[in-house]
């Protein structure tokens, strides 16, 4: 079993209520379990974002920076969005 350490944190009333509600619902055994699960979710989210940057964002940036892929002017992008919005409003 991994070593455990204690940490004291201060939460807003809203976050504390959320933690206590999760425990009261029976979804978690105690407050520490809620916090641990939240930290694991944060760790997973960070890994997903890092993967997206490595797999999608960085290669697209490199293609643009090398001139392989042109940028679309902002005016063209926003013009297209405005036209789409107008057509959806009917």
Cα 60 to chain centroid distance, Å, stands at: 20
Cα–Cα distance, 51 to 53 (Å, whole number)? 5
Q: What pLDDT does 33 receive?
A: 97
Alpha helices, H only, the chain: 13-24, 31-52, 58-65, 74-89
Q: What pLDDT does 2 receive?
A: 83
Segment 36-77, tens digit of pLDDT? 999 999 999 999 999 999 999 999 999 999 999 999 999 999
Q: Are 39 and 47 in contact (CB under 8 A)?
A: no
Cα–Cα distance, 45 to 43 (Å, whole number)? 6
Q: What pLDDT does 89 receive?
A: 84
Q: Whole-model pTM?
A: 0.71
Q: Where are the domains of the chain?
A: 14-89
């Amino acid at each position: 079993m991994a070593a455990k350490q204690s940490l004291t944190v201060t939460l807003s009333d809203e976050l504390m209520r959320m933690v206590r509600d999760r425990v009261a619902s029976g979804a978690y055994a105690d407050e520490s379990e809620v916090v641990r699960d939240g930290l694991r979710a944060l760790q997973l989210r960070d890994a997903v974002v890092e993967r997206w940057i490595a797999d999608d964002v960085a290669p697209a940036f490199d293609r643009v920076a090398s001139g392989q892929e042109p940028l679309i002017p902002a005016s063209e992008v926003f013009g297209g969005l405005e036209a789409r919005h107008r057509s959806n409003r009917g």
